[in-house]
């Protein structure tokens, strides 16, 4: 029988007859991963697998290890990341395919954003290499303004144009109500590695307009391994008024930015509802760039 490959979020403990407590633990682990607390997520996944020892609990544990490794790579802790990869490879050989991807990122980790995107100028770039670069852009690049100004790509490159449009839209959406038609963002296709930012921006704009169902729909469509996913718990917390797990500093900053008061603004609640909820309208801010950009300050990993 061929060995089973573990893919992120592939198997749910509920789907294989897990107990309610194990399913609750899985949900807790995935919430911790989404909120950026990868260390705690890993510890809980270890404890669950120790007591359950099922294919599903092992898949969850490998997911937690993978996210912990990615968090180390984002902090340029490549030696620590490689050590953890070696440990997981030894203990869970069925996770080899996922570990090979992470190992490649350790070996070829670019020194800068310029190093990452420069190969995209080559029209003969292999599809696999292009896909790998786009995967890193989706999962690890959080500063849209830096990408928009990246001189390693020509000024008219689709990534630079898309990043610039998204940063402007993100600033607007986190500064007050924005009409839906102002966020069409044709510069960013649904296949772009920046597409999750488009969904995040629309989710925030929907929240401001009181369109909660639309907001949830956009949030649910965000790639769970993308940078904008780090801010999803914040959006959900604003919708419910509660937090299922502690927010990261960046996520807390997003919540503070949206709710910071200059003067009270009323947010409609629900489509067609006459009820309104008092919301605080934040400062309107200009378009920053570089390390101080809004996307960088709010989506930077903890």
What is the predicted pLDDT for the residue at 201?
94
The beta-strand segments (E) located in the chain are: 263-268, 276-281
Q: Rounded to the nearest 5 degrees, what angle is found at the Cα of 299, between the Cα atoms of 297 and 301?
A: 100
For the segment 97-145, what is each residue's pLDDT rounded down to a tens digit?
Answer: 777 777 666 655 556 889 889 989 999 888 877 887 898 899 888 899 9
User: Which residue from 49, 52, 66 is spatially nearest to 9, judged by alpha carbons?
Assistant: 66
**Contact call for residues 116 and 136 (beta carbons, < 8 A):** yes
What is the predicted pLDDT for the residue at 187?
95
Q: What is the full DSSP assignment across 10-66?
A: ---TGGGT--HHHHHHHHHHHHHHHTT-HHHHHHHHHHHHHHH--HHHHHHHHHHHH
What is the predicted pLDDT for the residue at 92?
87
SS3 of residue 110 by DSSP = coil
What is the predicted pLDDT for the residue at 259?
60
What is the predicted pLDDT for the residue at 258?
66
What is the predicted pLDDT for the residue at 271?
47
For the segment 58-91, what is each residue's pLDDT rounded down to a tens digit?
Answer: 989 998 998 888 888 777 777 677 788 888 888 8
**Contact call for residues 98 and 7 (beta carbons, < 8 A):** yes
Query: How far is the C-alpha of 42 from the C-alpha of 63, rounded, in Å?
Result: 9
What is the predicted pLDDT for the residue at 294?
58
What is the predicted pLDDT for the residue at 219?
95
What is the predicted pLDDT for the residue at 144?
93
What is the predicted pLDDT for the residue at 153?
96
- Give the chain's residues under pLDDT 70: 1-21, 79, 103-111, 242-253, 255-302
Query: How far is the C-alpha of 105 from the C-alpha of 72, rounded, in Å?
Result: 11
Which single residue is written with the structure tokens 């718990």?
Answer: 233
């Amino acid at each position: 029988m061929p060995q089973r490959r573990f893919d992120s979020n592939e198997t749910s403990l509920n789907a294989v007859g897990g107990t309610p407590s194990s399913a609750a633990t899985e949900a807790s682990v995935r919430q911790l991963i989404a909120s950026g607390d990868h260390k705690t997520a890993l510890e809980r996944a270890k404890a669950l697998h120790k007591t359950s020892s099922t294919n599903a609990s092992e898949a969850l544990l490998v997911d937690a290890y993978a996210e912990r490794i990615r968090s180390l790579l984002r902090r340029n802790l490549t030696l620590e990341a490689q050590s953890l990869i070696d440990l997981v490879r030894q203990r869970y050989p069925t996770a080899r395919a996922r570990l090979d991807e992470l190992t490649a990122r350790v070996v070829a980790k670019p020194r800068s954003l310029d190093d990452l995107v420069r190969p995209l100028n080559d029209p003969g770039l292999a599809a696999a290499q292009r896909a790998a670069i786009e995967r890193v852009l989706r999962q690890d690049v959080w500063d849209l303004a830096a990408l928009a100004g990246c001189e390693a790509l020509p000024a008219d490159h689709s990534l630079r144009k898309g990043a610039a449009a998204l940063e402007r839209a993100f600033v607007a959406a986190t500064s007050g109500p924005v009409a839906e038609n102002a966020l069409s963002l044709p510069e960013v296709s649904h296949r772009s590695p920046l597409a999750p930012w488009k969904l995040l921006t629309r989710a925030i704009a929907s929240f401001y307009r009181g369109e909660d169902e639309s907001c949830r729909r956009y949030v649910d469509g965000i790639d769970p391994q993308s940078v904008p996913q780090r801010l999803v718990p914040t959006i959900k917390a604003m919708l419910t008024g509660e937090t299922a797990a502690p927010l990261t500093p960046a996520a807390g900053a997003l919540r503070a930015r949206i709710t910071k008061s200059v003067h009270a603004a009323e947010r409609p609640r629900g489509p067609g509802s006459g009820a309104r909820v008092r919301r605080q309208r934040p400062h309107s801010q200009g378009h920053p760039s570089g390390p101080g950009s809004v996307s960088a300050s709010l989506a930077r990993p903890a």
